[in-house]
Copies of this chain bind each other. A is one copy, B any other.
Amino acid sequence: MPRPREFDETEALEGAMNAFWARGYESTSTEELCAATGLGRSSIYNTFSSKHELFRRVLDHYSHRGIRLRETLLDNAPDGLGAIRLLLASTIDDELENGRRGCLMVNAIAEFGTTDPEVAAQVNADTEAHLSALTHFARTGQADGSITRDRDATEIANFIHATISGIRTMSRRGAEQKALTSVAELATSAVSRR
């Protein structure tokens, strides 16, 4: 009976995500969010309540999107090390193809630190998800012989996670592709079985 929405909520989130991703939270104005989503102010506030709520929804969207991307990507992995190699390579591809925006979660951590409990909780949840996937690959690799057994799988996961953060930060700064790939290679060889 009511008037239906003229837009797709997910598409709107995608637009808002791109805006926040490029310019951060504070310096993205509601007007820019209107432009990025294609919605009017009313629709944004009607749907997402506030800028802060919208940002939370965006973080959520980003996180699930990442999980989905990783799932589809890593079906093709030959072994544990291959999965990690693929992950690093696709991270770099993403950066090169999408304008070196870095990682939205890293950007959020840098901007908010732990001052905003809700944002912090979401970042931590995403980190946990990422780490648990990485730990899984590390264990797989240790079982199939592609990854070193000198270190605990969780340590390897942490290390790769830190490396990815580092690479994304380098990329946002504008580092050369060569530099990104060489970091990825060195990190890969650090966890591979020798």
Contact = CB atoms under 8 A, between A and B. Distances in A.
Contacts of A159: 182-183, 186-187
Contact of A120 (B155, B166, B174, B183): B174
A23 B182 contact: no
A140 interface: no
A127 interface: yes
A52 interface: no
B106 A169 contact: yes
A169 B109 contact: yes
A2 to B, nearest CB: 38
A98 to B, nearest CB: 12
Q: A interface, by DSSP: helix, strand, loop or mixed? A: helix
Given A182-B158, A186-B155, A110 B106 contact: yes
Nearest to A108: B110
Contacts of A113: 22-24, 100-102, 172
Given A169-B162, A189-B190, A111 B107 contact: yes
Nearest to A127: B173
Contacts of A112: 24
Nearest to A150: B189
Interface residues of A, number: 49
A124 B26 contact: no
Contacts of A170: 158, 161-162, 165
A162 B103 CA distance: 14
The interface centre, meaning the residue of A102, A124, A159, A191 with most chain B CB atoms within 10 A of its CB, is: A159
Interface in A78-126: 100-102, 106-107, 109-115, 120, 123-124
Contacts of A191: 186
A136 B67 CA distance: 40
A170 B187 CA distance: 17
B190 A124 contact: no
